[in-house]
């Protein structure tokens, strides 16, 4: 999700030269304890990291033709990849979209001591219950079907959003729950030939290897002086979205020669909308 007051919709040329990252891990180890799906997971495939310091566009609010010079684009899982580019597939993995709430079994929505669903009030999204291996496995089975769809469409990577949901869980979820669940997703995605981006949550970069993460998708790391954390953790394989002119200036001043940075409007709208903004300088 977008942090620190930003907004999101939940619909929300040279890629072949990007370095190949070979993954040779057992399927059971990738899927991890409690998923119940290890036997169905294919063997790991090669997957590619996004190029460093490349033209980038964030299109999770709706797909449109990328501007000249764009080499990396992120789009919602309901859309198709942009031909010839490095494509990241947006998936809301740790919370339920408001319109999809009824699709989730009631016991997989996190509930407080009174039985009420714990909701991210900014987006009216119920948090998913990741407190036990069994529940993490059941949630992962659903999210991994979306990841399968990303792979079938031809995306290169997946961006599981709301990794930081545990910070909004009223103390019911922990960072360890988030990392354990993420590992179920990364293992499955790697087996499908997809890299996986850490979405925000700078405090968990030190646990990137345990989570199986490969690069970072950050929102306002320039605005909030967090780019250094991600750049160091992921060797500059970072795509950053800024939502203010000030944030863009700060990000470009220090990281413009190293990271992939774009200024978008907070609604990540399409070019036909009056509020649409996309700038790279």
- How far apart CA 19 and CA 13 sit, in angstroms, is 14
Alpha carbon of 20 to those of 61, 124, 150: distances in Å?
29, 39, 19
Share of the chain above pLDDT 90, in %: 83
* Antiparallel, parallel or unpaired: β 278-279 and 260-264: antiparallel
Cα Rg of the chain (Å, integer): 18
pLDDT tens-digit series, residues 153-207? 999 999 999 999 999 999 999 999 999 999 999 999 999 999 999 999 999 999 9
pLDDT tens-digit series, residues 29-68? 333 333 333 334 445 579 999 999 999 999 999 999 999 9
The sheet with strand 195-199 has its strands ordered as 55-59, 70-76, 86-92, 157-161, 195-199, 215-219, 238-242, 260-264, 278-279
Are the C-beta atoms of residues 280 and 76 closer than 8 Å to each other? no
What burial letters (b/e) apply to 59-94, b meaning 16+ CB within 10 Å? bbbbbbebeeebbbbbbbbebebbeebbbbbbbbbb
Model pTM score: 0.85
Are the C-beta atoms of residues 159 and 189 closer than 8 Å to each other? no
- How far apart CA 279 and CA 265 sit, in angstroms, is 9
pLDDT tens-digit series, residues 118-165? 999 988 999 999 999 999 999 999 999 999 999 999 999 999 999 999
Angle (CA) 252 253 258, round 5°:
55
Q: Among all chains, which residue has been given the structure tokens 């947006």?
A: 90
For helices 227-234 and 245-255, give the axis angle rounded to 10 degrees. 40
* Antiparallel, parallel or unpaired: β 195-199 and 119-120: unpaired
111 burial type by CB count under 10 A (0-12 exposed, 13-18 middle, 19+ buried): middle
């Amino acid at each position: 999700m977008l942090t620190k007051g930003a907004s999101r919709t939940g619909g929300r040329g040279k890629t072949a030269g990007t370095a190949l990252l070979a993954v040779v891990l057992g399927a059971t180890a990738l899927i991890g304890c409690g998923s119940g799906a290890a036997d169905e997971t294919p063997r790991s495939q090669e997957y590619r990291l996004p190029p460093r310091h490349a033209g980038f566009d964030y299109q999770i609010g709706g797909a449109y033709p990328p501007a000249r010079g764009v080499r990396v684009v992120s789009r919602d899982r309901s859309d198709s990849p942009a031909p010839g580019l490095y494509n990241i597939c947006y998936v809301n993995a740790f919370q339920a979209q408001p319109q999809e709430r009824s699709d989730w079994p009631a016991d997989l929505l996190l509930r407080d001591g009174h039985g009420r669903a714990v909701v991210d009030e900014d987006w009216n999204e119920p948090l998913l219950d990741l407190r036990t291996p069994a529940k993490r496995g059941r949630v992962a089975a659903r999210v991994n079907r979306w990841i399968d769809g990303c792979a079938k469409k031809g995306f290169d990577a997946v961006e599981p959003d709301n990794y930081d949901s545990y910070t909004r869980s009223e103390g019911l979820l922990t960072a360890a729950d988030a990392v354990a669940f993420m590992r179920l997703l990364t293992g499955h995605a790697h087996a499908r030939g997809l890299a996986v981006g850490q979405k925000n949550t700078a405090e968990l970069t030190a646990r990137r290897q345990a989570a199986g993460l490969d690069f970072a998708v950050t929102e306002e790391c320039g605005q909030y002086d967090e780019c250094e954390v991600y750049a160091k953790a992921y060797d500059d394989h970072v795509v950053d979205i800024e939502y203010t002119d000030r944030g863009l200036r700060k990000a470009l001043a220090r990281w413009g020669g190293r990271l992939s940075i774009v200024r978008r409007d907070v609604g990540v709208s399409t070019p036909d909308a009056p509020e649409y903004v996309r700038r790279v300088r």
